[in-house]
Amino acid sequence: MTGLLFLPLVMTMLLTTHRPSSCQGMHMILDTDIHNFYEHLVLKEIEKQGLDRTLPAHQLADLCCLALNQLPSHYIRHEVDMLYFTTEAERTEMEQKVIASLRRAYDQIQAVPAR
């Protein structure tokens, strides 16, 4: 039980403690230099379906979380990498996974009573 309480404390310390970069003179910021490609696909599909115009902000945030949690991670540095390192069939499969995960996430949100 103590280990379970200790883990969040350690994670907080690791994430907030300033550490010099292991590469001299090079600084990488994970949330701007590297991202999960599925995030881009989910947001694009939400706009395509018009969900960003029909759902309130709190439901959109829930929708994104629920959909992304169903999808695998696929981290990239540049969008153009997807053109060179995936086939058309793989990109189509990724898009289909996004559509299916959004459908399930939307159904989950609609099943919850309105706030």
21-74: pLDDT as tens digits? 444 455 656 657 788 999 999 999 999 999 999 999 999 999 999 999 999 998
Residue 112 has pLDDT above 70, yes or no: yes
pLDDT of residue 9: 44
For 1, the token pair is 């039980």
pTM exceeds 0.75, yes or no? no
| pLDDT tier for residue 106 given thresholds of 50, 70 and 90 | very high
| pLDDT tier for residue 15 given thresholds of 50, 70 and 90 | very low
* b/e map 32-56, b = 16+ CB within 10 Å: eeebebbbebbbebbeeeebeeebe
